[in-house]
Structure 1
Amino acid sequence: MLEQIHKHLVSELQQNTRTDTIFIITAILLNLLSLGINSAMAGESREDTSLFLVMFIMVTLVIVVNIVVITGLLKGKQTRGKLINGLIKMYKDNNVDKYYDSSLLLNYNIRYNLFILVVVFIGAIAIAIPFIVR
């Protein structure tokens, strides 16, 4: 039974990693795409209000997607912490905890914070630069 629980926890960790990867890649690609589109339209948007409206819609999309991604990453961080803590408890109960360095949890938390910082920073650039160019 323990082996099945262990496999399930490890499987959940792998799924968590895949989901977080999708969130991060989606946010970065959307932010860069929005930066390119809005920067290309920025100069023309002074005279053409429809282009300015498109820029505004793209900015709104960036904000909404980044909020969803950051929320997803924060939930992923919590989930990973719970799963790893469960594994650590299981390892302690079976006297094999010496083979797992529990400081990895801190490293994962730092990594999540860095991913969130990257998403926020690129999102802010994607929003600010086109309006500066405008």
Structure 2
Amino acid sequence: MLEHVHKHITSELQQNAKTDIIFILASIALNLITLAINAGSVEKSRTDDTILIVMFIFVGLVILINIVAIFGLLKGKQTRTKLLKGLISMYRDQQVDKYYDESLLSSYSVRYNLFIMVVLCTGIISIVVPFVMR
């Protein structure tokens, strides 16, 4: 039974990583696409209010998607921490915990914070740069 639980936890950790990758890549891709679209629309937006409105719609989309991505990453961080603590407890019970360095928990936390910063920074850049160019 213990082996089944271990397999389930490691499977959940793998799924968690895949979900995090989707959040990160989707938000960064959207940020860069929005940056390109809005930067390309700058010239026309000076004379056409419709283009300016479209630019603001993309800004709203970037904000919404980045909030969802950051929320997803924060939940992923919490889930990973809980799963890893469960594994560590299991390892401790089986007296094999010396093979897993618990400092990895803080490394994962830092990594998640860096991912969130990348999403946030690309989002801010995709919003600010086109309006500075305007």
> Unpaired segments of 5 or more residues in structure 1?
none
User: Which amino acid is the alignment partner of residue 47 of structure 1?
Assistant: T
> Who is 1:97 aligned against?
97
User: 2: CA distance between counterparts of 1:69 and 1:61?
Assistant: 12
> Who is 1:35 aligned against?
35
> Who is 1:108 aligned against?
108
Structure 1 runs (4+) greater than 6 angstroms displaced? none
> Who is 1:21 aligned against?
21
User: Which amino acid is the alignment partner of residue 90 of structure 2?
Assistant: M
1:46 is displaced (CA, Å) by 1.1
User: 1: CA distance between counterparts of 2:6 and 2:42?
Assistant: 53
User: 1: CA distance between counterparts of 2:93 and 2:105?
Assistant: 19
User: Which amino acid is the alignment partner of residue 111 of structure 1?
Assistant: R
Aligned with 2:101: secondary structure? coil
User: 2: CA distance between counterparts of 1:42 and 1:85?
Assistant: 50
> Unpaired segments of 5 or more residues in structure 2?
none
Q: TM-score, normalised by structure 2?
A: 0.99
Aligned with 1:66: secondary structure? helix
Alpha-carbon RMSD: 0.4
> Who is 1:85 aligned against?
85
> Who is 2:57 aligned against?
57
User: 2: CA distance between counterparts of 1:16 and 1:129?
Assistant: 33
